[in-house]
Amino acid sequence: MRFFSLLVLWVFAAPVWAQAPAEFFEKKIRPILVNSCQACHSAKIKTAGLDLSSADGFLHGGQSGPIVVAGNPEASRLVKVIGYGESMKMPPTGKLKDEEIADLSAWVKMGAVWPGASGATTQPVRPPSRELTAAEKGFWAFQPVKDPTVPSVKNQAWVQTPVDRFILAKLEEKGLKPAPPAGKITLLRRATFDLTGLPPTEKEARDFLADESRDAFRKVVDRLLASPRYGERWGRHWLDVARYADSTGNDEDHRYPYAWRYRDYVIEAFNSDMPYDQFVREQIAGDLMPSPDGKSINARGIIATGLLALGPKALAQKDKVKMMYDIYDEQVDVVSKAFMGLTVSCARCHDHKFDPILTKDYYSLAGIFANTRNFSGGGTGVSKLSFRPLAPKGEYESRQEYER
């Protein structure tokens, strides 16, 4: 009797895929496709190139390729979009019932059998992957930097630095001559506007006119480079690259209360002539680097990662998974453009059409940013930005207690 009870229990608790695949498709899957999918995905209306009214149309997939990896629901685009865990949500009119989602997932796990299909449906269908070609790897922009051969020129008297030889060689090749030297006041104005964005003062002009030494202009340049205005002038160009702003610039446009710290960091980096490799490392991973002065908190490194913390962020986005992946995408975009000169984020959806960047390269990079913390708390509603103290833990907690 106990054995019979267990047998009955097993029969009624058996998973849905215990049924014949064809029978399960007809009873469970086809009604879902007819009622919820074929209004937009049929032989007549192939939205995104997808026809779900026939076996062959299903096997063909849409514009982005097959929608199912047979036997693997977790990797199947169909299961992802009906689960509303992706940026694309299907059907757009409303989420399917839980039991319908379960049935579709079970069907994919069974092998996505569609009776009458002209081809096999039980083999995994994965998007094609490839490796970079030799031509792509050999593109000139990806080769190590080499010292070029300095060209010879006729007008040796015009040359003051090796760079001048490259300019003059092209001018002579075209039968052109350099412009005559600028007057002292013109030269002073050009240098001052270029390095500080400001005009020279009357005293600076008089001092330069009175200086008849050979290195008079060199002293002007050194003075301008030592001016705090130099970092303010040239730091602005990097802040443009870093898409600097004092607010999120998206949905409710929330304020970044400490954005000014990153701005001041960039200005100071220019004024202190920070080595470029250090400038790069601090902005990408400064919070992981030890403090240069031996302190327990690397305040400058934490501030430098403002490059990643800034930028457009839809904090009021209801779909938090989409919000986070859009933020990772934006971080990939700014890092690749700023430091690599490449538009890597195109490969979020497909291998790059022009640059040798594959989709797997994009997600390898995005995975790094997905392992970072951008927000505090959780749940729904407006997300709260995550802030990290610039003081040691005990000191910070004491201040918090005092403020309370």
If asked whether residues 357 and 310 sit together in one domain, one would say yes
Record the pTM: 0.65
Report which secondary-structure segment, H or E, holds 384. strand 384-385
Instruction: Give Cα separations from 129 to 108, 121, 353, 359 (angstroms).
Output: 22, 20, 14, 9
If asked whether residues 106 and 176 sit together in one domain, one would say no
Q: What pLDDT does 171 receive? A: 96
Closest CA to 341 of 357, 353, 317, 326: 357
Band of residue 190 on the pLDDT scale cut at 50, 70, 90: very high
- For the ranges 221-225, 279-283, 363-367, 369-373, the lowest mean pLDDT is seen at 369-373
Using CA atoms, how far apart are residues 173 and 193, in angstroms rounded to an integer? 32
Indicate whether 236 belongs to any domain: no
If asked whether residues 88 and 174 sit together in one domain, one would say no
ω into residue 91 within 30 of 0, thus cis?
yes
Q: What pLDDT does 246 receive? A: 93
Indicate whether 226 belongs to any domain: no
Indicate whether 69 belongs to any domain: yes
If asked whether residues 166 and 281 sit together in one domain, one would say no
If asked whether residues 73 and 167 sit together in one domain, one would say no
Q: What pLDDT does 392 receive? A: 84
Indicate whether 299 belongs to any domain: yes
State the average pLDDT over residues 79-105: 85
State the average pLDDT over residues 95-123: 76
Phi, psi of 259 (to 5 degrees): -60, -30
Q: Does residue 391 have a pLDDT over 70?
A: yes
Q: Does residue 368 have a pLDDT over 60?
A: yes
At 92, the amino acid letter reads: P
Q: Cβ distance 114 to 121 under 8 Å? A: yes
Which of the listed residues 139, 160, 180 is the one where a domain comes to its end? 180
Report which secondary-structure segment, H or E, holds 267. helix 259-271
Sign of CA dihedral 384, 388, 392, 396: negative
Which of the listed residues 110, 133, 166 is the one where a domain comes to its end? 110
Q: Cβ distance 231 to 268 under 8 Å? A: yes
Domain count across the chain: 3
CA dihedral 289, 294, 297, 299 (to 10 degrees): -70
CA 272 to chain centre: 29
Q: Which range of residues forms the domain containing residue 171?
A: 149-180
If asked whether residues 293 and 364 sit together in one domain, one would say yes
Which of the listed residues 165, 180, 195 is the one where a domain comes to its end? 180
If asked whether residues 158 and 77 sit together in one domain, one would say no
Q: What pLDDT does 228 receive? A: 96
Length of the chain: 404
If asked whether residues 70 and 166 sit together in one domain, one would say no
If asked whether residues 95 and 174 sit together in one domain, one would say no
Give 237-294 pLDDT, tens digit per residue: 999 999 999 998 888 888 999 999 999 999 999 999 999 999 999 999 999 999 888 8
Q: What pLDDT does 237 receive? A: 97
Phi, psi of 203 (to 5 degrees): -65, -40
If asked whether residues 298 and 381 sit together in one domain, one would say yes
